[in-house]
Amino acid sequence: MAMKAITVRVDESIKEEADKMLEDIGLNMTTFITSSLKALVREKKVPFALVTKDYLSDQIILKKLAEAEKEAADPNTQWLSHDEVFGKLLDERLSNALLNIPKVKLEADEKGNAVIDKEQHPELFDWAVNG
């Protein structure tokens, strides 16, 4: 049987990693590619599964649904109402927002109004003036 050379360009890091993996199982690149092409011709289909990111996402969703069904069947599962769930989410978001607000000590004038030093706290001054 006559042989024909095939030249393939691939990313160097992909080739190096593939070479290491093939070496671990006792193959080289030529043997792997030849056996893959033979399987393609023999089986009249690609010899491995080709899936899209959407397929993988669907599989993850199905797994999560199965986990949720199992949890729902557990009599020890504690349930929250919609109001409780959204209340917790809102409380968490507000807490996180409040944690990110810088804390500064302000002086007060004789009338009790806050005095903000524009040079020391320009962002607070700008917020107080412009809202």
Report the C-alpha gap between 64 and 106 in whole angstroms: 50
Position 97 scores a pLDDT of 63
Q: Is the pLDDT of residue 13 over 90?
A: yes
Q: What is the pLDDT of residues 98-110, one digit of tens each?
A: 666 666 777 888 8
Distances (CA, A) of 67 to 60, 61, 81: 11, 10, 20
Question: How far does Cα 125 stand from its chain's mean position?
Answer: 38
Identify the pLDDT of residue 72. 84
Q: How confident is the model at residue 131 (pLDDT cuts 50, 70, 90)?
A: low
Alpha-carbon distance of 66 to 124, in angstroms, equals: 50
83 pLDDT band (50/70/90 cuts)? Answer: confident
